[in-house]
C-alpha cells in the first residue's frame, strides 16, 4: 500500500469498492439527471483509481493525504466533464485528468517557480484545450488554443512548456485487468513510417497477420491514429487495441 498506509484522509483503502464499467455508465446517466447521490457513489467507486495514480508520485516526498485529496479533485473534474460520446472507458478519460491535477499541484508547490503571468497563460491554455476537446471530441491544435484565448501561438507554446515536466513515452498511465496503458498509447504519431516499415522488410511478416491485426497496424502506423481513435473506429476498447497491437508486433518480431 502507498507509503505503507492503509488509511488515507480517513479512507480505509483496503476496503475501497471497484465499480464495473456498466455500473459507472449507469451512475453517470443518473448524475446527468441531477442525482447527487449517484455522483457521490461514483466518486467512492473510483477512489482506488485515484490511489493507483498517486502511487506514481511516491518518490516526490509529498504527504500522501494531500496527494489523495488533489487526486480526488481531478476525479471529480473527470466526472463532471466526461461524456459517453468520447467512446472510451471512464478510467481512460479520468486518469489523465487526475494526473494533470496532481502535476499542477506539484508545480505550484515545487521549488522551481514560474512567473505568475506565464502560469496564468498556461492555465488559460489548458482550460481552453479541455473546452475545445469536449466540444470537438478531439485534441485541438496550438493555433486553435491560441485563437480561443486571444494569445500569440509562440506565447502559448512557451507558457505550456514552462509548466510542463518531461515524461517518458514508456511511462505506464494506468493498468486494468492486466492491460497497461502507456503514455505513448495516448499520443498520435504523425510521422510517415513507410520507410521504416520498408527498411525492416515487414511485407512478408505482415501477410501472416489476420485482417483485424493488419487493420489496426495500418491505422496506428500509417494513419497515425491513437489507440483511442482506433478503438472508436473498429468498435472495441482501447485495452483490446493495445493487446492486439502488441500481439501483432510480437508476431512480426518473431518472423524477422
- 164-193: pLDDT as tens digits: 655 544 455 555 555 555 555 555 544 444
Cβ-contact 226, 96 below 8 angstroms: no
What residues have CB less than 8 Å from 43, skipping those under 6 apart?
72, 75, 76, 79
Dump pLDDT digits (tens) for 11-68. Answer: 666 677 788 888 888 998 898 888 889 888 998 888 888 888 888 777 667 778 888 8
pLDDT bucket at 198, cuts 50 / 70 / 90:
very low
Q: What per-residue string of b and e applies to 125-156 under the rule 16 or more CB within 10 Å gives b?
A: bbebbeebeeeeeeebeeeebbebeebeeebb
**DSSP of 126-156, one letter per residue?**
HHHHHHHHHHHSSPPPHHHHHHHTT--HHHH
- What is 1-114's CATH number, 1.20.120.1810, 3.40.640.10, 3.90.180.10, 3.40.50.410? 1.20.120.1810
| CATH number for the domain running over 115-162 | 1.10.10.10
Task: Classify residue 9 as left (phi > 0), alpha (psi -120 to 50) or beta.
Answer: left
The CA distances from residue 25 to 1, 16, 85, 90, 211, in Å, are 28, 19, 12, 8, 31
Which CATH superfamily does the domain covering 172-255 fall into? Answer: PhyR, sigma-like (SL) domain (1.20.140.160)
Cβ-contact 210, 157 below 8 angstroms: no
Q: What is the pTM of this model?
A: 0.44
Amino acid at each position: 500500500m502507498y507509503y505503507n498506509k492503509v488509511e488515507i484522509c480517513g479512507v480505509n483503502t483496503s476496503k475501497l469498492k471497484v465499480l464495473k464499467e456498466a455500473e459507472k455508465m449507469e451512475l453517470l446517466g443518473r448524475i446527468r439527471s441531477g442525482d447527487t447521490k449517484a455522483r457521490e457513489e461514483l466518486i467512492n467507486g473510483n477512489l482506488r483509481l485515484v490511489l493507483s495514480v498517486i502511487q506514481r508520485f511516491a518518490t516526490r516526498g509529498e504527504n500522501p493525504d494531500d496527494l489523495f485529496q488533489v487526486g480526488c479533485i481531478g476525479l471529480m473534474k473527470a466526472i463532471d466533464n466526461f461524456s459517453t460520446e468520447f467512446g472510451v472507458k471512464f478510467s481512460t478519460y479520468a486518469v489523465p485528468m487526475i494526473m494533470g491535477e496532481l502535476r499542477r499541484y506539484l508545480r505550484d508547490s515545487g521549488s522551481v517557480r514560474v512567473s505568475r503571468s506565464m502560469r496564468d497563460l498556461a492555465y488559460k491554455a489548458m482550460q481552453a484545450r479541455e473546452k475545445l476537446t469536449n466540444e470537438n471530441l478531439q485534441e485541438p491544435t496550438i493555433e486553435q488554443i491560441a485563437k480561443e484565448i486571444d494569445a500569440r501561438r509562440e506565447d502559448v507554446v512557451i507558457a505550456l512548456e514552462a509548466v510542463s515536466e518531461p515524461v517518458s513515452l514508456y511511462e505506464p498511465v494506468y493498468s486494468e485487468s492486466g492491460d497497461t496503458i502507456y503514455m505513448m498509447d495516448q499520443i498520435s504519431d504523425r510521422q510517415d513510417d513507410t520507410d521504416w516499415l520498408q527498411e525492416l522488410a515487414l511485407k512478408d511478416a505482415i501477410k501472416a497477420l489476420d485482417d483485424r491485426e493488419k487493420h489496426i497496424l495500418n491505422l496506428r502506423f500509417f494513419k497515425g491514429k491513437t489507440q483511442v481513435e482506433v478503438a472508436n473506429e473498429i468498435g472495441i476498447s482501447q485495452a483490446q487495441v493495445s493487446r492486439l497491437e502488441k500481439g501483432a508486433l510480437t508476431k512480426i518480431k518473431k518472423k524477422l
